[in-house]
Amino acid sequence: MELLKEKILKEGRVLSDSVLKVDSFLNHQIDPLLMKEIGDEFANRYSDEVITKVLTIESSGIAPATMLGLTIGAPVVFARKRKSLTLADNLYSASVHSFTKNETNEISVSKDYLCEDDNVLIVDDFLANGEAVKGLLDIAEQAGAHVIGVGIVIEKGFQQGGQQLREQGIRIESLANIKSLTNGKVEFFD
């Protein structure tokens, strides 16, 4: 997606050979017009499928997932990283190791919002080692839901998550796929 790639080149900051900071439009401040384009692009790429639910993880997956939900008219469910008093039981849970924070979180979704009748599209901001997506796949499987595929805003194709998931037969659509972040420079796969 050219608009997204231009934005990454203009505003992204390479923090190391493996971490890209995009706080100005995705991870802290949000560019709603770009998010709307992203939601429309996911909808286009999956226009051959009927999506009944968009599943993401808090917090940075929520903006792109919501824009997709708005475009296709489907509800958006986000997995929570902390158990709250109002979300105590009746849960599907999975363990997710965070690449950027180097900590493991238990993520949960209420059984009220995901069921075996659902056709789910998983959405997230980044795909690195695939831990977040694997956790969401685990939750969808516990619910008996059918997973259509995954929509990723920024894939770091030099890390292993995308390849591993595709080898398992999972459809992944990423809107920008980064080949390298070496020497402080962002390079994309074509």
110 touches ligand 5GP (CB under 6 A):
no
CA 84 from centre of chain: 22
Q: Is 127 in the site for ligand 5GP (CB under 6 A)?
A: yes
- Select from 18-26, 31-39, 80-88, 104-112 the region that touches ligand 5GP (CB under 6 A): 18-26
Exposure string for 30-43, b = 16+ CB within 10 A, e = fewer: bbeebbbbbbbbbb
Least distance CB 147 / ligand 5GP (angstroms): 16
Q: Work out whether 60 is an interface residue with ligand 5GP (CB under 6 A).
A: yes
The alpha carbon of 106 is separated from its chain's Cα centroid by a whole number of angstroms, namely 17
What is the 8-class DSSP label of residue 29? S
| Packed helices 32-45 and 62-72: angle between N→C axes, nearest 10 degrees | 60
Q: How far is the CB of 97 from ligand 5GP (least distance, A)?
A: 7
Q: Say whether 26 counts as a known binding-site residue.
A: no
Q: Closest approach of Cβ 59 to ligand 5GP, in Å?
A: 9
Residue 143 labelled as part of a binding site: no
Contact with ligand 5GP (CB under 6 A): which of 8, 20, 74, 153? 20
Cα(137)–Cα(85) distance, integer angstroms = 25
Residues 65 to 104 in contact with ligand 5GP, rule: CB under 6 A: 98-100
Contact 104, 81 (CB under 8 A): no
Q: Where does this chain bind ligand 5GP (CB under 6 A)?
A: 19-22, 27, 60, 98-100, 124-132, 161
Q: Which residues are annotated as a binding site for 5-phospho-alpha-D-ribose 1-diphosphate?
A: 128-132
